[in-house]
A and B are shown apart, each in its own frame.
Chain A
Amino acid sequence: MRWEPPRVALLWCPDWPVTAAAQSAKVLVDAPIALISGGIVHASSAAARVEGIRRGLRLREAQAMHPDLVVLDYDAALDNRAFEPIITALEALVPGVQVLRPGLCAVQVRGAARYYGGELPAGLFLTGRADDEGAGGARVGIADGIFTADQAARRTGAQGNDRVHVVQTGHSADFLAPLGIGLLDDQQGPVGAAAIVTLLRRLGIRTLGDFAGLPADDVTSRFGPPGARLHALASGRDSWPVTPRTPPQDLDVMIDFEPALDRVDQVAFGVRAMAERFILDVTAAKLVCTAIRVELDSDSGELSERVWLHPRSFTPGDVVDRVRWQLQGSGEVGLSSGITRVRVSPEAVDAIGNHESGLWGQGPDERIHHGLSRVQSMLGHGAVLMPGVGGGRTLHERQQFVAWGDRLVGDRPAGQPWPGQLPTPLPGTVFSPRHPVHVFSRTGAAVAVDERGALSAPPVSFSATGTQARTLTAWAGPWPIDERWWSEDATSSWRFQAVDDTGCAWLLVLDAGGWWAEARYD
């Protein structure tokens, strides 16, 4: 029996990260967009590439090239999430979809070609379906094997039938022959492909055709299995079939409200049954949910989206609580109209076996969690805080709070030296917000500090607005803090310690806004 190469259709969405990010941020894809990861351009839209903004450029340089550049953060999770509906749609058309990476997936085309009356119509049908799902401009390459199909997809046009490039069975080697050897040095090559390609270049082999012309046995004996694999790819004998993914079970739940609900308790009541069903489904899949994503659609088209973590695992009541807190706390998001849709999806799941409660219960931690969750359901998620200490110079910067159940994200480690910190002992009372005060010298004039740090006169008393003046018995300062002088949010202030006649000590701060009582040593 003759060996039949697997026929593969490869769907490629050009600039997928940009498309996904633009859809999420509600920006037109045609706009010049750059996705930034760690200060470096990770991907850019076609309009940005015209200006020369390419991957690897620094953000400043990119902005200098195009002042109107739309800068978005690169989010790998968003890429995958946004691609999911397209995969689902394709799976409805053709069985067996292999996702190579977000924006690139392969399908077995044999059955589809028979059904739609040819490979070209099948390919066009796939692009049409992808267009419907919002992946505009998707292209399809059809060839023997994934590697050849990928190269075929890159050689498609943007319009009409050009969007599908079919390489007929057995013509793969001819198609690949003129292409550069550098294409093998891609994510699809085996480990060590880059070194082999470099060596081949030095040996004077520039195209895939040159490489394919070498005897297969010689390549294997010289380069081992990776070389043999590359040789097979270059000669269009990619024998690896499409390995379709197992479609994940859909655990998302959604409820529509018609007419829209504008009261929090109505919505909370409405989602109760949905939350029960959600947790039942998760449990039936032998999973527990440790983080959920709640999306709220309002009547006027706003979307409030947030991920909620749970220190243990969600119960139906917890899910309802999170929906309610998100509604109550949507002040910053600004939902101005009624809620039309609530959608809950699991963000992080874990095997249920890891969360089985012990025979004698889980000890005190579970009790504490229940007690604090009760307080959270009374006051809101952000009302119960766990404290932490982060880096910084002022007391406010150094103390960090995170809501019970959330993870502490501190980008400023406390362990590093922070010159200009307060000496110990630290004040036990840190006012939030700071209290405005007036500080007076002996003559009753306000005390000021000039830019060289010299006091206008020694302070003798201070008073908060509308209270009696406190006489100072001792004081020290001014200690300057000059932060971020290079940027617009530069702050410069002077700190003082002062003891009043009752023996109470204060931390006073003078900045551009005047005098403040920042903390009390009591």
Chain B
Amino acid sequence: MTSAAATLSSPEHAVESSAPSRVAELQARIRSMQATKLDSKLIPTHPAIAGLLPGGGLQQGAAYSVDSSAMLLMTLLAAPSAAGSWCAVVGVPEFGVEAAGHFGIDLDRLVLVPRPAEQWLAVTAAVADVMSVVVTRPPKRATDSSIARLAARLRQRGTTLLVLGNWPQTEAMLSLSQSTWHGIGDGHGHLSSREVTITVTSRMTGRPRSTRLWLPDSGAVVRRSDTRVDDTRRYGT
């Protein structure tokens, strides 16, 4: 009886204070019911982006579609690479190596397969067997059956796949918009920092989540920006 009284004693106050956490809890339950796999482990993810992703970070064995932005890609690779994982980049011959080093990717644990040509899917699968994070850019649409085979392989090995371009059955889609460069003027200065809006679209969360990001700021650090996302311009309510 005492416990019931305690819970009933301040119902209004309790509900009000914990409403956001309750929503989050319910969303998590919905997610776990909708998830295609059981308890997936997270790999280290950049804190500025982790919060937007379903599950709170990049998951092992999942595929993500990333807008073709090398800096966003490098930001995603930097955290697992710094934590000791091996990363591979398949089919991206223009991957800027020195920039990757500046973003915090350990070049000693980075492997490039710049031109897999026709065998890109087989190469991606072979590399996914041994690497923790694999980036690939499909030169053309793969058949559904081969994608399903690759997805099964990723789940089995716990490899995270980042796809530059469209990919069916992704965990989430990361895209950039409203990019603003600072430090450069009309004939003077130089590129020093950039603010972008990053939008994560996922089947799990329904509504796309966006935030403003310094990618990078003038100190070459990627962090959340204080400015708010101008939602109306992009989604036009």
A383 to B98 alpha-carbon distance, docked (Å): 20
Interface of A is mostly: mixed
Are B116 and A429 in touch, CB under 8 angstroms?
no
Interface string of B83-111 (1 = CB under 8 A from A): 00010000001111111111000011011
A372 within 8 A of B: yes
User: Considering only CB atoms, which chain B residue lies closest to A378 in the complex?
Assistant: B119
Are B184 and A499 in touch, CB under 8 angstroms?
yes
Are B116 and A383 in touch, CB under 8 angstroms?
yes
Considering residues A375, A404, A504, which has the most beta carbons from chain B within 10 angstroms of its beta carbon? A375
Interface of B is mostly: mixed
Are B94 and A431 in touch, CB under 8 angstroms?
yes
B191 neighbours in A (Cβ, 8 Å): 423, 425, 476, 497, 499, 505, 521
Known contacts A425-B216, A474-B184, A497-B184; is-contact A387 B97 (Cβ 8 Å): yes
A399 to B101 alpha-carbon distance, docked (Å): 11
CB distance from A396 to the nearest CB of B (A): 10
State which size class the interface on B falls in: 35 or more
A514 within 8 A of B: no
Considering residues B74, B96, B114, B220, which has the most beta carbons from chain A within 10 angstroms of its beta carbon? B96
Are B179 and A503 in touch, CB under 8 angstroms?
yes
B204 within 8 A of A: no
A512 to B70 alpha-carbon distance, docked (Å): 29
A497 to B185 alpha-carbon distance, docked (Å): 10
B41 within 8 A of A: no
Are A502 and B123 in touch, CB under 8 angstroms?
no
The stretch of A4-12, A99-107, A363-371 that contacts the partner chain: A363-371
Are B179 and A502 in touch, CB under 8 angstroms?
yes
B189 neighbours in A (Cβ, 8 Å): 476
Are B96 and A519 in touch, CB under 8 angstroms?
yes
CB distance from B101 to the nearest CB of A (A): 6
Are B181 and A399 in touch, CB under 8 angstroms?
no
A371: contacting residue among B129, B178, B190, CB under 8 A: B129
A477 to B190 alpha-carbon distance, docked (Å): 8
B53 within 8 A of A: no
A371 neighbours in B (Cβ, 8 Å): 126-127, 129-131
User: Considering only CB atoms, which chain A residue lies closest to B114 in the complex?
Assistant: A385
B86 neighbours in A (Cβ, 8 Å): 364, 368
CB distance from B109 to the nearest CB of A (A): 9
B102 neighbours in A (Cβ, 8 Å): 424-426
Are A474 and B100 in touch, CB under 8 angstroms?
no
A475 within 8 A of B: yes
A271 to B123 alpha-carbon distance, docked (Å): 26
A368: contacting residue among B123, B130, B178, CB under 8 A: B130
B122 within 8 A of A: yes
B173 within 8 A of A: no
Considering residues B73, B99, B111, B188, which has the most beta carbons from chain A within 10 angstroms of its beta carbon? B99
Interface string of A424-439 (1 = CB under 8 A from B): 1111111110000000
B156 within 8 A of A: no
A458 within 8 A of B: yes
A504 neighbours in B (Cβ, 8 Å): 179
A379 neighbours in B (Cβ, 8 Å): 113, 115-117, 119, 123
Known contacts A372-B127, A426-B98, A427-B99; is-contact A522 B71 (Cβ 8 Å): yes
CB distance from A311 to the nearest CB of B (A): 12
User: Considering only CB atoms, which chain A residue lies closest to B132 in the complex?
Assistant: A364
CB distance from B125 to the nearest CB of A (A): 10
B32 within 8 A of A: no
Are A399 and B187 in touch, CB under 8 angstroms?
no
CB distance from A331 to the nearest CB of B (A): 15
B27 within 8 A of A: no
B68 within 8 A of A: yes
Are B110 and A386 in touch, CB under 8 angstroms?
yes
A429 to B97 alpha-carbon distance, docked (Å): 9
B127 neighbours in A (Cβ, 8 Å): 371-372, 375
Are A387 and B112 in touch, CB under 8 angstroms?
yes
Interface string of A489-522 (1 = CB under 8 A from B): 0000000010100111100000000000001111
A261 within 8 A of B: no
Are A521 and B194 in touch, CB under 8 angstroms?
yes
Are B111 and A425 in touch, CB under 8 angstroms?
no
Known contacts A429-B96, A519-B96, A522-B70; is-contact A401 B107 (Cβ 8 Å): no
A520 to B96 alpha-carbon distance, docked (Å): 9
Could you list 8 examples of A-B contacts with CB < 8 Å? Answer: A386-B107, A387-B110, A401-B112, A432-B94, A476-B188, A477-B187, A505-B194, A522-B71
Other 15 A-B pairs with CB < 8 A, given A375-B126, A388-B97: A368-B86, A374-B126, A378-B126, A385-B111, A399-B96, A401-B97, A427-B96, A428-B74, A429-B70, A430-B97, A475-B184, A475-B187, A476-B190, A503-B181, A505-B191
